Amino acid sequence: MKSLLLVTLSILAFQAHAQDRYVCKSDHSERVIEVVYANPNSKVPCEVRYTKPEGTAVLWDAKHEVGYCEAKAKAFAEKLTSLGMSCSGVDVASSTPVATEQPTETQTQQDAATPLAAPLVDTPTSSTPASATEAATPSQAE
């Protein structure tokens, strides 16, 4: 069982690095999602570029996290597939189209509920509990 899991993960890891471009088509439209590397010999920094008839936009970028751009590009191609487009991954090294998997209904619902960018959340920087702070602060009700 462990060896099967190891083989599966190895294949998935290879595919994540091999697929750098997705071509998505509908009736009269073609869109391209591609990972662009600043240095061809390194996986970071990178950008995920989305090209449609209106122009090109950078959707995501990473400076230090290897695999981030590839994962985002793949997830976006899967989302476009769930919206009715026909997407195929293209292995840039061999220019061979590779079909993307159709997401399950649960994955589609999760994607629809997940925003593209998570909002920033303020987190307290003090390690002192609120009750200790109140005890140390003189009361103004005197």
- pLDDT for position 24: 97
The pTM of the full predicted model, rounded to 2 decimals, is 0.53
Cβ atoms < 10 Å from Cβ of 49: 19
**pLDDT tier at 91, thresholds 50, 70, 90:** low
**Which tens digit of pLDDT belongs to each residue from 23-44?**
999 998 999 999 999 998 999 9
**Nearest-angstrom CA–CA distance, 109 and 80:** 13
Mean pLDDT score across all residues of the chain: 70
Highest mean pLDDT among 55-64, 92-101, 127-136: 55-64
Higher-confidence residue of 137 and 63: namely 63
Token code pair at residue 31: 């869109």
Kindly indicate the confidence band of residue 87, based on its pLDDT and cuts at 50, 70 and 90: very high
Residue 120 predicted with pLDDT over 50: no
Question: Which stretches within 19-142 are classed as H helix?
Answer: 68-82, 105-113, 130-136
Distance CA 25, CA 39 (A): 29
> Residue 13 has what DSSP assignment?
H
pLDDT band at 93 (very low <50, low <70, confident <90, very high): low
Measured CA to CA, the distance from residue 137 to residue 44 in angstroms comes to: 49
The pLDDT of 115-136, averaged and rounded, is 42
Lookup result for tokens 């002192």: 128
